[in-house]
Amino acid sequence: MIDLLPTLFAPDDDPWLWLEEVEGEAACAWAQARSDETIAKLADARFEADRAALLEILDRPDRIPHVTRQGGLLYNFWRDADHPRGLWHRTTMESYLGAEPEWEILLDIDALAAKEGEDWVWSGAMTRPTHDRTLVRLSRGGSDAGVLREFDIGTCAFVADGFVLPEAKGGASWLDDDTLLLASAFGDGNATKSGYARTVRLWPRGTDPAEAAILHEVDVESMACWAWFDRENSDIVFGEQVDFYNTVISIGDRSGPKTKIDRPTDAGTSWSRGFVALRPRRPWTVGDTTYSADSILVTSREAYLAGARDFRVLFTPERSKALQGQFWCGGDLVISVLDDLRPVFLRAVPREDWRIEEIAGLPSIGAVNLWPLDSDPLESTGELAALSETPIASPQLSLLEPGVAAPTPLRRAPAAFDPRAAVVTRHDAVAPDGERIPYVQIGPPGETGDAPVYMTGYGGFRVSTLPYYSATRGKLWLEKGGVVVLTNLRGGGEFGASWHEAGRREGKARSHDDFAAIAADLVARGVTRPQRIAAEGGSNGGLLIANMLTRHAEKFGALFCTIPLVDMRRYHKLLAGASWIAEYGDPDLPEDWAFLQEISAYHNVEADRAYPPILIATTRRDDRVHPGHARKFAAKLQALGYPALFYEPASGGHGYGKDNAEVARFAALGMSFLRRAIGWEAETGTIG
Catalytic-residue membership of 512: no
Integer angstrom CA distances of residue 523 from 488, 501, 533, 613: 18, 29, 9, 19
β-bridge mates for residue 558, sequence order: 534
β-bridge mates for residue 122, sequence order: 138
Please check whether residue 325 is in contact with residue 336, taking contact to mean a CB–CB distance below 8 angstroms.
Answer: yes
Helix, strand, or coil (residue 632): helix
- The closest alpha carbon to 358, from 393, 320, 391, 321, belongs to 321
| Alpha helix positions (H), 64-141 | 93-96, 109-116
Task: Give DSSP secondary structure letters for 261-310.
Answer: --S-TTSEEEEETTEEEEE-SS-EEETTEEEPTT-EEEEEHHHHHTT---
| Distance, CA of 492 to chain centre | 12
Helix, strand, or coil (residue 30): helix
Give CA angle at 450 (445, 453), nearest 5°.
70
Residues 6+ apart with CB under 8 A from 208: none
Strand order in the sheet with 224-230: 224-230, 235-243, 246-253, 256-260
Q: How far, in Å, CA of 459 to CA of 491, rounded? A: 4
Please check whether residue 669 is in contact with residue 38, taking contact to mean a CB–CB distance below 8 angstroms.
Answer: yes
Selecting among 539, 579, 600, 672, the annotated active-site residue is 539
Residues 6+ apart with CB under 8 A from 49: none
Count Cβ atoms below 10 Å from residue 421 Cβ, excluding itself: 9
CA dihedral in degrees (535, 523, 389, 435; nearest 10)? Answer: -90
Residues 6+ apart with CB under 8 A from 10: none
Which H helix or E strand runs over 182? strand 179-184
Selecting among 35, 89, 654, 672, the annotated active-site residue is 654
Residues 6+ apart with CB under 8 A from 667: 54, 472, 476, 656
Count Cβ atoms below 10 Å from residue 646 Cβ, excluding itself: 24
Catalytic-residue membership of 66: no
DSSP state of 415: P
Please check whether residue 504 is in contact with residue 444, taking contact to mean a CB–CB distance below 8 angstroms.
Answer: no
Residues 6+ apart with CB under 8 A from 211: none
Count Cβ atoms below 10 Å from residue 115 Cβ, excluding itself: 10
Residue type, position 568, single letter = M
Which H helix or E strand runs over 456? strand 453-456
Q: How far, in Å, CA of 486 to CA of 468, rounded? A: 9
DSSP state of 475: I
Which H helix or E strand runs over 669? helix 660-677
β-bridge mates for residue 400, sequence order: 384
**Maximal CA-CA distance, the chain:** 76
- The closest alpha carbon to 315, from 342, 286, 288, 344, belongs to 344
Positions marked active-site: 539, 654
